Amino acid sequence: MDRYLGQFEQLLLFALLDSEGEVDGASIRERIESRTGRLVSPGAVYTAMDRLEGRGFVSSRIRTAPPEEGGRERKYYWLEREGAQALEHCYRALSRMAEGLERRLAEAAASESGGSGGR
């Protein structure tokens, strides 16, 4: 099975991982925004979640939220084992690539030219 995940998909799966049990679209957006500062549109969440659901990484169900949360119908998602494995795979790949490079990355990002040499 293809276990490659885009950056946004990884963010979504991490947001699911961050919560115990099911979580609705609005909470996912809130978590991503508060942790990364990135403004995420509801439409982007639902379409990406559709994709992830199609690949068996997440599951969802629709239920009515309790009155203190507005009482309307919401879609709740939870992480499947396959999803967790794919996320772990991607994260490990990224970590391995980054291993020992953190300092150089920081230096490169801080240097004035912004590059490490001529093109």
User: Please, which of residues 20-39 interact with other proteins by CB under 8 A?
Assistant: 25-26, 29, 39
Residue that is written with structure tokens 């629709």 in the block: 62
CB burial readout 78-115, b (16+ within 10 A) else e = ebbeebeebbeebeeeeeeeeeeeeeeeeeeeeeeeee
- Of 1 and 39, the one with the shorter C-beta distance to other proteins is 39
Q: How far is the CB of 47 from other proteins (least distance, A)?
A: 4
Residue 83 within binding range of other proteins, rule CB under 8 A: no
Residue 72 or 81 with smaller CB distance to other proteins: 72
Binding residue for other proteins (CB under 8 A) from 73, 99, 102, 112?
73
Measure the CA–CA gap between 24 and 60, rounded to whole angstroms. 9
State which amino acid sits at residue 47: T
Per CB under 8 A, residues contacting other proteins are 25-26, 29, 39-44, 46-48, 50-51, 70, 72-75
